[in-house]
Structures are given as C-alpha cells and as structure tokens.
C-alpha cells in the first residue's frame, strides 16, 4: 500500500496562503472569521480544530502562548500573521494598545433620567433625525435607538 500525500505543516500552509504587503505584513488570504481575523483548520490531538492564524504563527515562531496571554499586532492589521509584527500581552495590554492607537470605542455616556426624557420628547415632537438627537447628547445612534425602544 502506498503512503498518502504528506500533509503540510501549519507553517507551510500559512506561508502558502499568505502574501507580503508593502508594509511587511504577511497577509492571510485564507478563511476569515466574522471578526476579520484569519482562521486555519488544524489536525490536533483530539481532532480537527479551527484556530486564529496569528496565534498559530506566533506559536510556530516562539513556542506556546502562556495561559491568559493574547497575541497582539504591532501593525494593527487583523490579517497579519508575520511573527515580527506580533507580541504577547494581557487583556489590559490589549486595551491600552487599542486606546494608544486611537481604536478604543467611545465610553457610553451616562445619561440622567432627565436626558432620557428629553431624548424621547425630541424624537416624538421635533422634526430632527435620531442621528442628530444622538449627536446632540453625545451618544451613538444605536444607543439612542435602544433608549427610544425601551
């Protein structure tokens, strides 16, 4: 009986399904998840498993990721799997990195009961858009819509 074709390693598969960008990112061209990160399916003990490509690339270059640690991107490119662009950090490090790079979501403004009353009044009586009301109160349009629905 002839042996089947040799299965490529994760590193070989990542290299085959990636392309180098002008900025030096190794951009994953394979499957992407809903969050925009690259996904790769691997055979591991216990069966097939889908993993984040940048985490697999980090492990291939540096070894296991310590428990509770994240693999962060210096380049801020979700599809990048270049180990030179990746570094380890905690959740707090990830949030600080996000804020330092201007990607932090706005903190939801705490509204008073009077603010909510005014928002609802404006939506019912004034000829202005929900977007304009949200902007006037410094909140997102989605938050404004949730207030009006509840």
CATH of the domain at 50: 3.90.75.20
Query: Is the predicted pLDDT of residue 115 greater than 70, yes or no?
Result: yes
Q: What pLDDT, on a 0 to 100 scale, did the predictor assign at position 72?
A: 95
Distance between CA atoms of residues 89 and 147, nearest Å: 36
Percent with pLDDT over 70 in the chain: 93
> pLDDT higher for 63 or 114?
63
Query: Is the predicted pLDDT of residue 3 greater than 80, yes or no?
Result: no
Domain extent, residue 144, equals 113-149
- As for how many domains the chain has, the answer is 2
Q: Does 84 share its domain with 24?
A: yes
Q: Does 21 share its domain with 85?
A: yes
The answer as to whether 90 is a domain residue is: yes
Rg (CA), the chain: 23
The answer as to whether 3 is a domain residue is: no
Q: Does 32 share its domain with 82?
A: yes
The answer as to whether 105 is a domain residue is: no
The answer as to whether 39 is a domain residue is: yes
Average pLDDT over residues 82-96: 92
Based on DSSP, count helices (H) and strands (E) in the chain, helices before strands: 6, 6
Q: What pLDDT, on a 0 to 100 scale, did the predictor assign at position 38?
A: 96
Percent with pLDDT over 90 in the chain: 47
With bands split at pLDDT 50, 70 and 90, how would you rate the model's confidence at 1? low
Q: Does 81 share its domain with 138?
A: no
Q: Does 15 share its domain with 82?
A: yes
């Amino acid at each position: 009986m002839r042996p089947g074709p040799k299965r490529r390693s994760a590193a070989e598969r990542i290299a085959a399904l990636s392309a180098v960008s002008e900025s030096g990112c190794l951009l994953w061209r394979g499957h992407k998840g809903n969050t925009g990160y690259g996904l790769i399916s691997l055979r591991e003990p216990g069966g097939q498993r889908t993993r984040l490509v940048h985490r697999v690339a980090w492990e291939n270059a540096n070894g296991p990721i310590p428990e509770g640690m994240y693999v962060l991107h210096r380049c801020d490119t979700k599809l990048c799997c270049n180990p030179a662009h990746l570094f380890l950090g905690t959740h707090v490090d990830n949030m600080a990195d996000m804020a330092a790079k201007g990607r932090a979501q706005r903190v939801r403004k705490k509204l008073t009961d009077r603010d909510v009353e005014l928002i609802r009044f404006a939506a019912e009586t004034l000829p202005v858009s929900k977007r304009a009301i949200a902007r006037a109160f410094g909140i997102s349009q989605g938050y404004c819509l949730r207030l009006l629905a509840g």
